[in-house]
Amino acid sequence: MNSDPITSALAQEHFRSRAMFSIGPLELERRLREGEEMVLVDVREVADYAAGHLPDAICFPKEQWPGGDGLDREVLNVVYCDSHLCHLASAAAAEFAGRGYSVVELAGGIEAWKANKLTVER
């Protein structure tokens, strides 16, 4: 393994950013259970949302992103899509953060949520 100082610094920054701008499903569930106010933002297509989504999540497919209706500047917006292979949530989070919203991505998306046997609404 390379112990190059530049590589180490890049790795440190990557993991620091990842910790700041993502949330795991169990931590999210705990914070919701404790009553923390936040907006859950499902950026998948309407049919995917209808098939199952996080409790109380809003359906916010890509064509709705420009308007921002449903996002909240006063609380944390948690964005998610299908899985860690889907980059739609990252793209949405980058766009929303650029417009001044406080935003994090749900690590692993709805698949990680379901893998932890957490509630899904239809």
Averages of pLDDT over runs of 10 residues in the chain (122 residues) are 76 80 97 98 98 98 93 97 93 96 97 98 96
- What pLDDT does residue 19 have? 75
- Token pair for residue 6? 């530049």
- What pLDDT does residue 50 have? 98
For 56: left if phi > 0, alpha if psi spans -120 to 50, otherwise beta; the answer is left
Which domains, and CATH codes, for the chain?
22-115 (3.40.250.10)
- What pLDDT does residue 6 have? 81
Based on DSSP, count helices (H) and strands (E) in the chain, helices before strands. 5, 5
Q: Rounded to whole angstroms, how far apart are CA atoms 63 and 75? A: 23
The per-residue DSSP string of 9-40 comes to HHHHHHHHHHHHHEE-HHHHHHHHHTT--EEE
- Token pair for residue 80? 């998610």
Q: Please give the biggest Cα pair distance in the chain.
A: 49
Residue type, 116: N
pTM of the predicted protein model: 0.88
- What pLDDT does residue 98 have? 95
